[in-house]
Amino acid sequence: MELYELNLLMMTEGLKAKKFSASEIFESCKKRIDACEPSIHALITRTDDTMPTFNENGALAGIPTVIKDNLCTKGLRTTAASKILGNWRPPYDATAWSKLKDAGSILMGKANMDEFAMGNTCGNSAFGPTMNPNDTSLVPGGSSGGSAAAVSAGYVPFSLGSDTGGSIRQPASFCGVYGLKPTYGMVSRYGLISYGSSLDQIGPFARTVRDLQLVMSVISGHDNMDSSSFSDRPHDFSYNEKASVKGKKVALVKEFADFTLDAPIADAMKRTAKILEDEGAVITEVSLPVVSKYAVACYYALAMSEAHTNLERYDGVRLGYTVKDARGIKEMFERVRSHGFGAEVKARIIAGTCLTEPTRCEEYYVAATKVRTLIAQEFTRAFGETDYILQPVTPSMPGKVGEVDDDAMKGYEADLYTLPVNLAGLPGLSFFTGYAGNLPVGLQLIGKRWSDSELLDTGIILENHLGSPRIANGGVK
Ligand code: GLN
């Protein structure tokens, strides 16, 4: 076994027991990146030239990681996979990253993504697409596709991504790793390049649920720099051996029962429900009529409105890409923004501008905020009747690189199972259920707000039954 194949827990334990050194881990991961990166392209920037010094006493001492390229890294190019940021080097670190660094983790690179986290294929990157390490003709999912692919191919044992409407959970399921979208407010977003601020959340990817716990115990918690991060909650992510689902209720969503799913996903739903039942859980049903009918429209109206505001700052003046020979400010804005943004981002800025324009604002943006309240209420009611909701991550298995980006509406609709979780600020775990041929199949378990650690405990129970994913071939012949 090569060292890069070890999961996070095995790495930390082996390092503590001095079975191997941090520099051996570093070299092994680096070699793996060299071998796979030409066919996977998970990284926009590599930072694994030489091993940096690190905190040898931290919880993640010597553990390699990669983080999504919308997380600011001080003095290191941060692109959000957009041309418009140019060679911008942030003057500060994102809190989630500085916590990892303080804990001793080593950055191997910045991960590829859909531009400004808009998309679900990783095909909207100004730096070219990332490929699925299980089958390089397929997409890895997105927008955090690079972060998921890096963990799946064994570049690093864990990584960070962000999830606004599914961008951690969906690539986790396509690549065959675990991904947690934490409760809104559980992880500081300071230094995360904003997409839809009322929806964005940072979270981890790893090859075991136990490893997600280790990362969450480092990155969660209050931050004075992010007023949406909460301090008045317990954040205990330590492993709970006694965790059980006996007597717990796990609900399926009634309205989703008629929607078509690819066969491996439908089959995984049945198998997983059976496992939970055998473990003593009660399988029930909840009704989410507003979610099933209006969540997609509501999410895209809000996400685009917020994105158009958040992306106003890229004007060629403050930071990033600019043109020097413009005749006047208007021409500069026009040239910078039309060359700097990719097609999907521009489409969303235009839509967001229309949705919030004074004469239409009530009818669209304000209406969407009201629907969002109804959706949140619907979940509150549902979680009065159940402990968890079990559902797919996506209706279909990953599509082909280059093909799936052609139909934007279809892409939006495919987010139906993930985006309601962000609208309601809930935690969602994307977990591995097994393989269909060569391809991993993931599902999603949703919990109550602030139940993240319990959700992971239940994830471990599922992992014990369903098995953990293997490292993907990574395009290596
Ligand atoms: N696919 C969704 C979108 O494009 C979600 C993306 C995300 O979670 N960042 O908005």
Task: Note the pLDDT tens digit of each residue in 265-286.
Answer: 999 999 999 999 999 999 999 9
User: H-helix or E-strand containing 13?
Assistant: helix 8-16
Give me the pLDDT at residue 306, please: 98
Give me the pLDDT at residue 103, please: 98
Does residue 51 have a pLDDT over 80?
A: yes
Q: Identify which of 114, 124, 173, 415 to mutate to test ligand 1's pocket (most ligand atoms within 8 A of the CB).
A: 415
What residue type is 315 in one-letter code? D
What is the mean pLDDT of the segment spanning 8-33? Answer: 98
Instruction: For strands 388-392 and 249-253, give the pairing.
Output: parallel
Give me the pLDDT at residue 319, please: 87
81: buried, middle or exposed (CB in 10 Å: 19+, 13-18, 0-12)? Answer: buried
Q: Percent helix, strand and coil across the chain, each rounded to 5?
A: 40, 15, 45
Give me the pLDDT at residue 233, please: 65
Does residue 333 have a pLDDT over 70?
A: yes
Please give the number of the atom of ligand 1 that sits closest to the Cα of 166.
8
Q: Based on the residue annotation, tell me whether 143 is a catalytic residue of this protein.
A: yes
Which residues constitute the domain of residue 244?
1-477
Mean residue pLDDT of the chain comes to: 96
379-to-156, 201, 253, 373, 449 alpha-carbon distances in Å: 35, 19, 11, 10, 10
Instruction: Pick the catalytic residue from 125, 143, 159, 430.
Output: 143
Q: What residue ranges line ligand 1, CB within 6 angstroms?
A: 117-120, 143, 163-167, 195, 303, 415
Give me the pLDDT at residue 406, please: 72
State in Å: Cα 460 to ligand 1 middle. Answer: 27
Give me the pLDDT at residue 232, please: 67
Pick the closest to residue 157 from 259, 62, 272, 229 (CA basis): 62
Give me the pLDDT at residue 44, please: 98
Confidence label for 477 from pLDDT (cuts 50, 70 and 90) = confident
State in Å: Cα 260 to ligand 1 middle. Answer: 21
Does residue 41 have a pLDDT over 80?
A: yes
Q: Based on the residue annotation, tell me whether 68 is a catalytic residue of this protein.
A: yes
What is the mean pLDDT of the segment spanning 437-451? Answer: 97
Crossing angle of helices 452-466 and 263-278, rounded to 10°: 100
Please give the number of the atom of ligand 1 that sits closest to the Cα of 414.
1
List, in order, residues 6 or more apart from 167 with CB less than 8 Å away. Answer: 113, 114, 117, 120, 142, 143, 144, 161
State in Å: Cα 411 to ligand 1 middle. Answer: 10
Q: Based on the residue annotation, tell me whether 99 is a catalytic residue of this protein.
A: no
Q: Are 213 and 453 in contact (CB under 8 A)?
A: yes
Share of residues in the chain with pLDDT > 70 (%): 99
Give me the pLDDT at residue 262, please: 98
User: Residue 243 and residue 461: Cα distance in Å, rounded?
Assistant: 8
- Comparing 239-253, 316-330, 395-409, the range with the smallest average pLDDT is 395-409
Confidence label for 420 from pLDDT (cuts 50, 70 and 90) = very high
Confidence label for 153 from pLDDT (cuts 50, 70 and 90) = very high
Give me the pLDDT at residue 234, please: 61
Does residue 403 have a pLDDT over 90?
A: no
Give me the pLDDT at residue 404, please: 75
Instruction: Pick the catalytic residue from 105, 167, 173, 305.
Output: 167
Where is pLDDT greater, at 234 or 391? 391
Give me the pLDDT at residue 408, please: 85
Please give the number of the atom of ligand 1 that sits closest to the Cα of 422.
8
Does residue 297 have a pLDDT over 70?
A: yes
Does residue 354 have a pLDDT over 90?
A: yes
90-to-197, 323, 438 alpha-carbon distances in Å: 19, 20, 40
Confidence label for 231 from pLDDT (cuts 50, 70 and 90) = confident
Q: What is the domain count for the chain?
A: 1
Does residue 412 have a pLDDT over 80?
A: yes
Does residue 343 have a pLDDT over 70?
A: yes
Give me the pLDDT at residue 318, please: 85
Confidence label for 230 from pLDDT (cuts 50, 70 and 90) = confident
Residue 105 DSSP label: -
Confidence label for 216 from pLDDT (cuts 50, 70 and 90) = very high
Confidence label for 402 from pLDDT (cuts 50, 70 and 90) = confident
The pLDDT tens digits for 361-399 are: 999 999 999 999 999 999 999 999 999 999 999 999 999
Residue 249 DSSP label: E
Torsion over CA of 344, 149, 202 and 318, rounded to 10 degrees? -50
User: Residue 60 and residue 362: Cα distance in Å, rounded?
Assistant: 48
CATH number at residue 423: 3.90.1300.10
